Amino acid sequence: MKLFYTILAFSLTLFACQQEKEISSVSPNNWLKRIAKEPLSDSLQSGRTYLSVYSEIYDLSEHHTYQLTATISLRNTSLTDSIYVFNAVYYDTKGNAIRRYFEKPIFITPMETVEIVIDAMDKTGGTGANFLFDWKTKKNTPDPLFEGVMISTTSQQGLSFTTQGKRIE
């Protein structure tokens, strides 16, 4: 009986290790809850923001990289108005679109923050990954703020830094 439990425990451990892990902690189901349900006004002003993201950085030489977890924050800086984000597209170092996080516009309520997490095991972005966000707000509403926080605490090494989005349109 003891042998049976040992084999069972070993099998379960092996099976658990082989399951595919998510590469982003934001499930598509979460985006579905944020879809803007009412028709958006034609009077909204448009913007586009670029955000640099580092899913890995060079370490020791150009031939060795260090993996990072990236938290991408989409922040509504308005006290009164929601903002609408139409696209959140993740690009790799070569400029290829890796993934688009939602297909329909989402809303972010006043002073709310929504996050995307790129796991450290996800190397698809590379050393020069980035995001483009297309968004709309009411006239005279402050621009949203898009930030990246990259971190790793592997072994006894701790590393973290931030990036801020830049409005390009």
**pLDDT on residue 17:** 47
* pLDDT tens digits, 70-107: 999 999 999 999 999 999 999 999 999 999 998 899 99
* pLDDT tens digits, 6-46: 554 555 454 444 444 445 555 666 788 889 987 888 899 99
**pLDDT on residue 10:** 52
3-state SS of the chain is CHHHHHHHHHHHHHHHHHCCCCCECCCHHHHHCCECCCCCCCCCEEEEEEEEECCEEEECEEEEEEECEEEEEEECCCCCCCEEEEEEEEECCCCCEEEECCCCCEEECCCCEEEEEECCCCCCCHHHEEEEEEEEECCCCCCCEEEEEEEECCCCCCEEEEEECEECC
Going by pLDDT thresholds of 50, 70 and 90, the confidence category of residue 53 is: very high
From residue 113, alpha-carbon distances to 82, 118, 146 in Å are 11, 16, 10
Percent of the chain clearing pLDDT 90 (strictly above): 59
**pLDDT on residue 19:** 45
Query: Residues 119-138: what's their mean pLDDT?
Result: 94
- Report the distance separating Cα 101 and Cα 90, nearest Å: 8
Please state which CATH class domain 22-33+44-167 belongs to: mainly beta
What ranges do the domains of the chain cover? 22-33+44-167
The pTM score is 0.81
Average pLDDT, the chain: 85
Flag whether pLDDT at 143 surpasses 50: yes
**pLDDT on residue 25:** 56
**pLDDT on residue 154:** 77
